Amino acid sequence: MEERREPCAGTALARANGLRGGRPSPNNFLLHGGYHFGNLEAVRIISKAAITEFSKTHKDALEPLLYWHSMTKRAAWRHLADVRADFPHADAVGIFTVFNISGNKYRLVSVIKYRWQIVYIRHILTHAEYDKGKWKL
């Protein structure tokens, strides 16, 4: 005789929220955009410590870098065009996205993982350091 399982009490609620069998439906991700595992609703920026360290020697960079940080944290970027809507002078250089900071006086070099909504700060450089190109290695 075949055993019949009763549905869980939360099954109807899960289906109403776009979940099938307790798993997210692909359509659920399309409706809400971004990556929401563990209630992550903001972009993760790794690492803010780079901003702090750079600002110790370049005090005038702190305010523009914190502005970049606050704008980026609230972003929901899916591709470079979305980034350029917030930062028109952002450029793709290989795998990096480069932001002009403080009127092109400084450059913030990052790697953006759009699917996971994570921005990795790789380098913060003066314009002269950026032009040397050692950061590309």
Domain boundaries, the chain: 1-32, 42-136
Q: What is the spatial distance between Cα 94 and Cα 117, in angstroms, rounded to a whole number?
A: 19
- Indicate if the pLDDT at residue 29 is higher than 60: no
Nearest CA-CA partner of 101 in 113, 112, 91: 91
pTM score, two decimals?
0.69
Q: What is the spatial distance between Cα 32 and Cα 7, in angstroms, rounded to a whole number?
A: 27
Percent of the chain residues topping a pLDDT of 90: 62
Q: What is the pLDDT of residues 71-123, one digit of tens each?
A: 999 999 999 999 999 999 999 999 999 999 999 999 999 999 999 999 999 99
Task: Confirm if 91 and 98 have CB atoms less than 8 A apart.
Answer: yes
For the chain, what is the radius of gyration of the CA atoms?
A: 21
Q: What is the pLDDT of residue 68?
A: 97
| Confidence band, pLDDT 50/70/90 cuts, at residue 23 | very low
C-alpha separations of 94 from 66, 76, 98, 127 in Å: 25, 22, 10, 18
Task: Confirm if 97 and 112 have CB atoms less than 8 A apart.
Answer: yes
What CATH number should be reported for the domain whose range is 42-136? 3.30.2310.20
- Indicate if the pLDDT at residue 133 is higher than 50: yes
Q: What is the pLDDT of residue 134?
A: 83
